[in-house]
Amino acid sequence: MVSQVRKVQIGVLLTIAISMVIVLCAPSTVVPAKASEMGQYEILAISDFSGIPQEVIDDAVSRAATLFGENEEKCSDFVSQVLALYKEAKDVDVLVIVNSGGWGWSAIAESNEKELAPGIDGILTELGNKTLWIDYFRTDNSFFGAIGEFMMALGTNPTRAQELAARTTFLTNNLPDLKVILLGISNGCTICSGAMALLAENERVYSIQLGPPVWNNNSHMERVLLLRTNGTVPDSFSHGDMLTILRANLQSAFGISQEYGGDILLYIGAPGHDYDWTYDWLKLQINNYLTEYFKVN
């Protein structure tokens, strides 16, 4: 019996040690995120800053230095990206920055919630707004990118939220008529939640968060719409209902179909974790929220 206990203890210690080695040996996750216009694969970045006021360029350079210190490559990457987005957003009313679920490197068009974008955009347009949609890739498609996303989800990597908040503040400071919506889906809500905590005083920044992890909650904040259901059943992932998730996956393994759809990381069934633009209750909540804040007089 003592021998068995010792084996378990050794196994736990080895697991902890290996996890620490992976985290400590991983290259810094403090790298600039990437963004592209929705539906485009090319990353938004420019090298020609002509036509951009010098004070705007200086602001971008200052924010880059705050985030990345003396790392010239990372600073240059950040500056070229935010100035490109500045130029793209100059003539729009609402910028929607999308953080999809999963590991943070997928576009919304590749997700189960791909119809959310045209649905929400239709409401914003009917309310009189000209919009720009951006896919925000907060991680690289790699092992270490996944490690960084995991650390952020656990709240041990706040730098990603800080960068998103810095980009957003840069845009609203230099484009005084621009409003920004941080749209988060599933794991993508974590970075939006962290950024909104830093942007609480910025009254031109809003957030829609759909199916966040159970430990994320800033629904008490102004200008935040946080939903943990699509109006059919409670989201098992967002409510931390591991029993329902386990039962659903066991039933699926035996060929028993599920009444309510939803999954996390594409393969793990999570009933109710589905926020596609097909649920009337979901549409109503988003419509009411957008009408309250984005109706053009």
Residue 3 in this model has a pLDDT that exceeds 60: no
* pLDDT at 217 > cutoff 90: no
- pLDDT mean over 43-50: 93
- The answer to whether the CB of 271 falls within 8 A of the CB of 224 is no
Q: What is the pLDDT of residues 151-198, one digit of tens each?
A: 555 554 567 889 999 999 999 999 999 999 999 998 889 899 999 999
Q: Give the pLDDT score at 13.
A: 44
Q: How confident is the model at residue 112 (pLDDT cuts 50, 70, 90)?
A: confident
One CATH from 3.30.750.24, 3.90.1170.50, 3.10.180.10, 3.40.50.1820 for 29-40+90-230+277-294 = 3.40.50.1820
Distance, in Å, from the CA atom of 84 to the CA atom of 170, rounded to the nearest integer, reads 12
Indicate where the chain has its CATH 3.40.50.1820 domain(s).
Answer: 29-40+90-230+277-294
Q: What is the pLDDT of residue 170?
A: 98
pLDDT of 204 higher than 90: yes
The contacts found for 4-11 with CB under 8 angstroms, 24 or more apart, are none
pLDDT at 245 (0 to 100): 79
pLDDT in tens, 221-268: 889 999 999 999 888 888 888 888 787 777 666 666 665 666 565 567
In this model, does residue 34 exceed pLDDT 50? yes
Q: Which residue has the higher pLDDT, 60 or 9?
A: 60
Q: How many residues does the chain have?
A: 297
Tell me how far the alpha carbon of residue 192 is from its chain's centroid: 5
Average confidence (pLDDT) over 95-107: 77
More confident residue, 285 or 22: 285
Q: Which amino acid is at 176?
A: P
pLDDT for 25 equals: 47
Rounded Cα distance between 123 and 40, Å, is 22
Tell me, letter by letter, the H, E, C secondary structure of the chain.
CHHHHHHHHHHHHHHHHHHHHHHHHCCCCCCCCEEEECCCCCCCCCCCCCCCCHHHHHHHHHHHHHHHCCCHHHHHHHHHHHHHHHHHHCCCCEEEEEECCCCCCCCHHHCCCCCHHHHHHHHHHHCCCCEEEEEEECCCCCHHHHHHHHHHHCCCCCHHHHHHHHHHHHHHHHCCCCEEEEEEECCHHHHHHHHHHHCCCCCCEEEEEECCCCCCCCCCCCCEEEECECCCCECCCCCCCHHHHHHHHHHHHCCCCCCCCCEECCCEECCCCCCCCCCHHHHHHHHHHHHHHHCCC
Lowest mean per-residue pLDDT among 15-29, 108-122, 195-209: 15-29
Cα(90)–Cα(80) distance, integer angstroms: 16
Computed over every residue of the chain, the mean pLDDT equals 81
In the structure encoding, which two tokens stand for residue 57, read together? Answer: 């360029």
pLDDT of residue 260: 62
Distance CA 65, CA 59 (A): 10
Selected residue with higher pLDDT from 285 and 18: 285
Instruction: Provide the percentage of residues in the chain whose pLDDT is more than 70.
Output: 75
Distance CA(297)–CA(294), nearest Å, equals: 9
Question: CB of 136 within 8 A of CB of 185?
Answer: no
pLDDT at 21 over 50: no
Phi/psi at 48 (nearest 5 deg)? -100, 110
| pLDDT score of 24 | 41
The per-residue pLDDT for 259 is 56
Of residues 92 and 137, the one with the higher pLDDT is: 92
Pairing of strands 34-37, 263-264: unpaired
Of 38-52, 95-109, 158-172, the least confident = 95-109
